[in-house]
Amino acid sequence: MATGAAIGEFFGGPLGGAIGAAAGFLVGGLLCLFLCHHKGPPPNQPPTIDCKTFHIKNQYTAPPNGTSLLVDFGHFKGSDKEDGNITAISIPESPAMLHRGSNLIMFTVTDKNGYQQSCARNIEVKVVTCNQPRWPKHGFVQCQSGEVLLGSTCTVMCQDGYELTGNPFLKCVGENKFHASPPTCSYKEPPSFTNCPPTKHVYADKGKDMATVSWVIPHASDNSDQNPLVIQKKGQPNGSLFGGFTEISYIAKDDSGNVSPPCTFFIFDEKQLCSPPVFNGDLYLYYTCGKSGYQYGSECTIGCKGSYPLVGNNKMVCDRNTTSGKLYWDWGSKGKPYCKQNKCPTLTAPTNGALACDKWMYGTQCTMQCNNKFDIPIGVGGSSTFTGRFTCSTVSGKWSPLQHVPNCTALRVGRNHRIPGELVYSGNCNDVVTKKQIQQNFVNLMQKLESQPGYKGVCPNKETCKVDNVEVICGSRRKRRRSDRVSNDVITLTFEFVRKYEPFGNGTISAMQHAKTKFAVLQKLTRKFIQQGLMNVPNATIDQSSLQYGEVEIDCGPGRFPKYSSLTCAACSSGSYLAENIGKCIYCPKGSFKNDEDELNCTTCPTGMTTEGNGSVSSSECKEICTPGFYSPNGLEPCSPCHTGTYSTTQEATVCKTCPDNKYTMKSGSTKIGDCLSRYSDSIYIFSPRIKLFMQVFALH
């Protein structure tokens, strides 16, 4: 290295330093070759890779209408003396999207020591193009884009008064090569229309589905002195009856056989419908419109439910204003009819019962009564909500708490009388053996009571009278600290004595009193056996003073609710069901009904039908639901289609949505906002052959 430094000083500067270092490395290496002892492996050699040996195409042709293509040029390997064959990593990775012109692909191999070697190949993507076709005399050319790529098409068109001869479409099939020769434009002047009627939007005649439509016959002109012949090609003749959407088309032909572009317009005939009549929330007014519904000219009959008098005409007619053309309901000279609601409707007496009513200063009060062996049902909300008394004030004209008198239900007595009880122990409630012993002791006590005269059935068999049916509950008497690991817990034995309902005396009151007497004796016997130690357990202390009982209850079974005022089991009134978890009657929800007191649940209306509200009592209250595109005041039949300019996307709609500004539907009953079209830009009227030719060109794309 010192020798290298001396040589470097001869040259001077950075160049001398570099030369000196190289010389020193060379000299030192030669000396070490003779003097040093090499014990380690030879130095690692970098890998090698040769891109020239790769089987890769140098050129590809882009597909039709494209300037790029996906090329799978494969995966290749390099070699390394130490590591053998090494897979090369390419940038970009194969397959790769290659673009027009030259694309450089770099391949790199890396050995385990991180040494790398790279090489590159160039792949060219050729794009085949054609020169723009020359414009024909009296014509012009329009291509899909500025550059005519392989597979793209150019369209040749002629000026007004000239006819195209040849293929109007030229497709690029090779380098500067089209599939056909360019066409030519020759002179030809067809007739043309000077007045083409616009599209006519008309409404059906009064009380009909069709309308009589007339228009001015279009007139055509030609460069000759003679008038061309105007011929109607589509649609009914002028002055005919039209219904729905009809296309009318005329052509003009001169003596030379030249035919004009068609004069086309449309007749759109629509049924005119009044909006559903609104009676300001009059619940007692109804109307019937028949098969014609709300159509222009239809007549509807109006009436009131119950005994409410109708104020106004009992007929209404869908008519049209001669000035504005808008439809409206003609109520007659008496104005909009209504039902006088300050008079209380007449209540219908219940089946198997009677109704006693009495008028007072501000209304009427009625009380329902039921025959022998029948009972007053429960009202919605529980037994305290409904007692069979109805009140109607002249202010509202409505009965409370129910609008209709429910029928008397069959009188039912309870299935059983039962009384709950509780006994408390002090001990470790986590002791499974103790809990099992308490349960077994209670079963033994029940078996002992079974043997007593008059109490057979308390513990009738092993299925109902077993340890698994006895409930033992844990609960602490005092708050425990977190550090307390063991404490005397409260062990609570809860039980229930059940006695089958036994008719006694002259009714349910006597039967209840009899059950209480029997239960009282049973309680004394139980207390006696507990005092004798029958319920004692080794690891817990019984608190004999904790033995207590609740009130005697009535077990009515599913669908019935204990009515303690009469000691019977009452059912829910029609249109409601018993919610067992809260013990109250609930109105049948909208879309269901219940007309049988013994039914546990409400019946759902058929598919596509629902009710106006909750509490329906009959299947006749299920009405058809208005489908999308239709509406009514309550969303149920009869339904009207949404007028032109409006739409409805949902079922049971009570109003239709209006199209955005400058948008309009072409027909009634539209179901989506996409039916709303521009009033002008979406309507196409073609009068000129040049305009028509442009429309054909754009349609190709």
Same domain? For 244 and 172 the reply is no
Same domain? For 144 and 248 the reply is no
Q: What confidence score (pLDDT) does residue 306 get?
A: 64
Least-confidence region, from 7-16, 123-132, 137-146, 546-555: 7-16
Q: What is the pLDDT of residues 376-404, one digit of tens each?
A: 887 665 544 577 889 987 667 888 887 88
103 occurs within a structural domain: yes
Same domain? For 182 and 199 the reply is no
Q: What is the rounded average pLDDT of the residues 642-671? A: 92
pLDDT at 10 over 60: no
Q: What confidence score (pLDDT) does residue 39 get?
A: 55
Least-confidence region, from 6-15, 49-58, 619-628: 6-15
Last residue of a domain, one of 187, 218, 237: 187
Same domain? For 249 and 366 the reply is no
In this structure, the number of other CB atoms found within 10 A of the CB of residue 399 comes to 20
Higher pLDDT pick, 609 / 441:
609
Q: What is the CATH number of the domain that holds 250?
A: 2.60.40.10
210 occurs within a structural domain: yes
Q: What confidence score (pLDDT) does residue 1 get?
A: 42
Q: What confidence score (pLDDT) does residue 561 get?
A: 80
Q: What is the pLDDT of residues 412-431, one digit of tens each?
A: 888 888 888 888 988 888 88
CA distance 685 to 680: 10
8 occurs within a structural domain: yes
pLDDT at 105 over 50: yes
Count of structural domains within the chain = 8
Same domain? For 450 and 479 the reply is yes
HSE of 336, CA atoms in CB hemisphere, 13 A: 9
Classify burial at 287, counting beta carbons within 10 Å of its beta carbon; exposed 0-12, middle 13-18, buried 19 or more: middle
Q: Are the CB atoms for 350 and 369 separated by under 8 Å?
A: no
Last residue of a domain, one of 594, 619, 644: 619
Last residue of a domain, one of 297, 319, 343: 343
Cis peptide bond N-terminal to 562, omega within 30:
no
Q: Are the CB atoms for 406 and 525 separated by under 8 Å?
A: no
Q: What is the pLDDT of residues 446-485, one digit of tens each?
A: 878 777 776 666 666 665 566 566 777 776 544 444 444 4
pLDDT at 494 over 80: yes
Q: What is the pLDDT of residues 209-232, one digit of tens each?
A: 888 999 999 999 876 567 889 999
Q: Which single residue is written with the structure tokens 């130490």?
A: 82
42 occurs within a structural domain: no
Same domain? For 583 and 665 the reply is no
46 occurs within a structural domain: no
Same domain? For 430 and 509 the reply is yes
Say whether 533 sits in a helix, a strand or coil: coil
Q: First vs last Cα of the chain: how many Å apart?
A: 78
CA distance 284 to 344: 11
Backbone angles phi, psi at 137, to 5 degrees: -65, 130
327 occurs within a structural domain: yes
Q: What is the pLDDT of residues 521-568, one digit of tens each?
A: 888 888 888 888 888 888 888 998 989 988 988 888 888 888 887 888
Q: What confidence score (pLDDT) does residue 500 get?
A: 82
pLDDT at 36 over 80: no
Q: Are the CB atoms for 560 and 571 separated by under 8 Å?
A: yes
Higher pLDDT pick, 20 / 471:
471
Query: With a threshold of 0.85, does the pTM exceed it?
Result: no
Q: What confidence score (pLDDT) does residue 202 get?
A: 87
Helix (H) or strand (E) holding 11: helix 2-11
Beta strands in 506-641 (DSSP E): 540-549, 553-555, 560-563, 568-571, 576-579, 584-587, 592-593, 603-604, 609-610, 623-624, 630-631, 640-641
Q: What is the CATH number of the domain that holds 312?
A: 2.10.70.10
What is the domain extent for residue 643? 625-701
Q: Are the CB atoms for 673 and 647 separated by under 8 Å?
A: yes
673 occurs within a structural domain: yes
Same domain? For 196 and 254 the reply is yes
Q: What is the rounded average pLDDT of the residues 114-135? A: 91
Same domain? For 458 and 528 the reply is yes
Q: What is the mean pLDDT of the chain?
A: 82
348 occurs within a structural domain: no
Same domain? For 16 and 59 the reply is no
Same domain? For 442 and 535 the reply is yes
Q: Give 3-state DSSP helix, strand, coil % of the chain, rounded to 5.
A: 15, 35, 50
Q: What is the rounded average pLDDT of the residues 348-354? A: 91
Same domain? For 452 and 543 the reply is yes
